[in-house]
Amino acid sequence: EAQVTQNPRYLITVTGKKLTVTCSQNMNHEYMSWYRQDPGLGLRQIYYSMNVEVTDKGDVPEGYKVSRKEKRNFPLILESPSPNQTSLYFCASSSTRQGHSPLHFGNGTRLTVT
Amino acid sequence: AQKVTQAQTEISVVEKEDVTLDCVYETRDTTYYLFWYKQPPSGELVFLIRRNSFDEQNEISGRYSWNFQKSTSSFNFTITASQVVDSAVYFCALSGTYKYIFGTGTRLKVLA
């Protein structure tokens, strides 16, 4: 089944404790990206990747890192999480490098930073 | 700069009513794509439709229809004869070159 898999679904952590949210897709998509969803703000793009080893900032990249060492994986790293990063996070992939095709989303990761 | 505005934060309708969700966008790109996504109460995000900037034909899919007008930079979504299962948050999105911009979403409540 074609899918984007995010883990974990729920995560509660403390300020400053490094964490990684994994994202993997099995559709051989070139484009992958991360979003955070906050009430009243919709979905905001954090980072995106057009291909292996090629990443760029979205609209809200501060406090986040990503890597794209393999085509299928695109982990989101919070080196020192803070409470303002409490949010619902979505990973997504798209079949075209520019991101012009519809996004396939993972099921989301609800992160709470205390 | 790119921007997507969904001015309607929340809409409530009674079942079988028609409802239109508004989307206005801004972009300097000549080639761009517009999308609608649905987020039901279960939380997943589901793709509904894509339109490119060169195709202004309206589209109908069952009870759903979309009206794309470049002259007013709008890409509105109409649900005809709404049903309770249409209750969700709907997002309009714009893709230019690599970046994806979403609107803040419209929460639709369809009451039985």
- pLDDT tens for each residue of A31-51: 999 999 999 999 999 999 999
Q: Determine the pLDDT at residue B45.
A: 96
Q: Is the pLDDT of residue A79 over 90?
A: yes
Q: Determine the pLDDT at residue A87.
A: 98
Share above pLDDT 70 across residues of chain B, in percent, rounded to a whole number = 100
Residue owning tokens 């803070």:
A82
Check: CB of residue A49 under 8 Å from CB of residue A66. yes
- pLDDT tens for each residue of B6-22: 999 999 999 999 999 99
Amino acid identity at B44 = E
Neighbours of B109 (CB within 10 A): 14
Q: Look at B44 and A108 and tell me if their CB atoms are within 8 Å.
A: yes
Calculated CA dihedral for residues A54, A66, B35, A87, nearest 10 degrees: -170
Q: Is the pLDDT of residue B56 over 90?
A: no
Q: Is the pLDDT of residue A76 over 90?
A: yes
Q: Look at A99 and B35 and tell me if their CB atoms are within 8 Å.
A: no
pLDDT level of residue A94 (50, 70, 90 thresholds): very high
Share above pLDDT 90 across residues of chain B, in percent, rounded to a whole number = 83
Q: Determine the pLDDT at residue B13.
A: 97
Q: Is the pLDDT of residue A97 over 80?
A: no
Check: CB of residue A46 under 8 Å from CB of residue A64. yes
| Residue B105 DSSP class | -
Q: Burial, A21: exposed, middle or buried (Cβ in 10 Å; 0-12, 13-18, 19+)? A: buried
pLDDT, mean over chain A: 95
Q: Determine the pLDDT at residue B99.
A: 84
Amino acid identity at A110 = R
For chain A, helix, strand, coil in percent to 5 are 5, 50, 45
Closest listed residue to residue B25, CA positions, set B98, B77, B103: B103
Q: How far is A105 from chain B (nearest CA, A)?
A: 6
How many DSSP H helices and E strands does chain A contain?
0, 11
Check: CB of residue A92 under 8 Å from CB of residue A4. yes
Q: What is the mean pLDDT of residues B31-36?
A: 94
Nearest to A43 among B52, B91, B98 (CB): B91
Q: What is the mean pLDDT of residues B49-72?
A: 90
Nearest to B95 among A42, A100, A104 (CB): A100
Query: 3-state class of A84 per DSSP?
Result: helix
